[in-house]
Chain A
Amino acid sequence: MKIICIIAAYNEEKKIANTLDDVKKYLDNIVVVDDGSRDNTVKVAREKGVTVIEHKINRGQGAALETGNTYALKHQADIVVHFDADGQFLAKEIKDIIKPIKAGYDVTFGSRFLDKKSQVPFTKRNIIMPLAKLINLVFFNVRTSDPQNGFRALNVKALETIKIENDRMAHCSEILAKTRKYKLKYKEIPVTVLYAEFGQKFNSGFKILSDLFVNKLTK
């Protein structure tokens, strides 16, 4: 069974080496999609011996993940794992996210709210995430405990069905919505999210909403 880990990276020269070292312990096939970084992300990733695909200009995380998905499909992947470059997720949990796919699910979503392992900041836990959940429920009829988690796994059926059209951060909601729309079998599993000074700010929520809205209009 061929499992490919796709890591979208943008200006991550400081963190990507550690992330790649961690992921390599669990998976052999790693694809870094560099999204037009201005730093040495590509060089660092190449030195780690992983496959690197380069976007010539920055197009957003959603666009980078879709490039990775396309590559994975072309290279006969059975399962694709989406993982962040910034060390927010734990590589040892990759096996947990793959497990349901092997058991017959089409998509697995990581959730930081299913247990108490993640120290989610107060405003994120109590204001931003409940709002995002409400938006997902109202606009897409999607009910998940974590609406904006980038740690997920997809099988071939899901990869062929879900084409990410939102180039930027709205892709998380889009993947959830399309999973439901195409009646894919999905499961949420608890994952740990480590918080430092990264992640989305409050106003990025409005940007996500605006992207989703305009994307609907241009259909």
Chain B
Amino acid sequence: MYQQIIAAIIIVFFIIRLVSLKRSKNLNTNEFVFWLIFWILAGIAVAFLKQIDQLVAKMGFSSSGINFLLYIAVIVLFYLIFRLRLRIFKLDKALTKLVRDIALNNKKD
């Protein structure tokens, strides 16, 4: 119970932070929607921890619901890092193109 309350407080904190970032226009709509859905899903998962416990047991796993959420969190984190890496790679390419164009434009003879 206490764990759930602490988790809920953390989630509410992140949602408030998200809304304030959106209001101050430091976050675009896509990112806002993505993270809002992410934290709402996290909230639902925490709220239904007991049911997840039962579900995990029904599926034949010996681990508890909170462990299950932890596994999911690690998978999500890996996926986000992967996306981030691809994004950095694309930015890297754009940067190279920019550097090349500037270099060639400065050498117009």
Question: Which A residues lie at the B interface, using CB under 8 A?
Answer: 33, 36, 51-57, 59-60, 63, 66-67, 70-71, 74, 165, 167, 214-215, 217-218
What does the 1/0 interface line of B3-26 toward A look like (CB < 8 Å)? Answer: 000000000000000000000000
B93 within 8 Å of A (CB atoms)? yes
Q: Across the interface, do A56 and B103 meet the contact criterion of CB distance under 8 Å? A: yes
| Chain A: CB-nearest residue to B108 | A74
Question: Which B residues lie at the A interface, using CB under 8 A?
Answer: 85-86, 89-90, 92-93, 95-96, 99-100, 102-104, 106-107
| Chain B: CB-nearest residue to A34 | B103
> Does more than half of chain B's interface fall in helix, strand or loop, or is it mixed?
helix
CA distance A74 to B108 in the complex (A): 10
List the 10 closest pairs (A to B, CB-CB), nearest first. A67-B100, A63-B96, A59-B96, A53-B107, A53-B103, A55-B99, A218-B89, A214-B89, A55-B103, A167-B96
CA distance A71 to B89 in the complex (A): 24
CA distance A218 to B96 in the complex (A): 15
> Does more than half of chain A's interface fall in helix, strand or loop, or is it mixed?
mixed
Residues of B within 8 A of A74 (CB): 104
Residues of B within 8 A of A54 (CB): 103, 106-107
Q: Across the interface, do B86 and A56 meet the contact criterion of CB distance under 8 Å? A: no
Residues of B within 8 A of A57 (CB): 95, 99
CA distance A172 to B23 in the complex (A): 48
Q: Across the interface, do A51 and B86 meet the contact criterion of CB distance under 8 Å? A: no
Q: Across the interface, do A63 and B86 meet the contact criterion of CB distance under 8 Å? A: no
Known: A51-B107, A53-B107, A59-B95. A217 touches B86 (CB 8 A): yes
Partner of B99, one of A56, A70, A165: A56
Q: Across the interface, do B86 and A214 meet the contact criterion of CB distance under 8 Å? A: yes
Q: Across the interface, do B107 and A59 meet the contact criterion of CB distance under 8 Å? A: no
Partner of B86, one of A52, A66, A71, A218: A218
CA distance A54 to B103 in the complex (A): 5
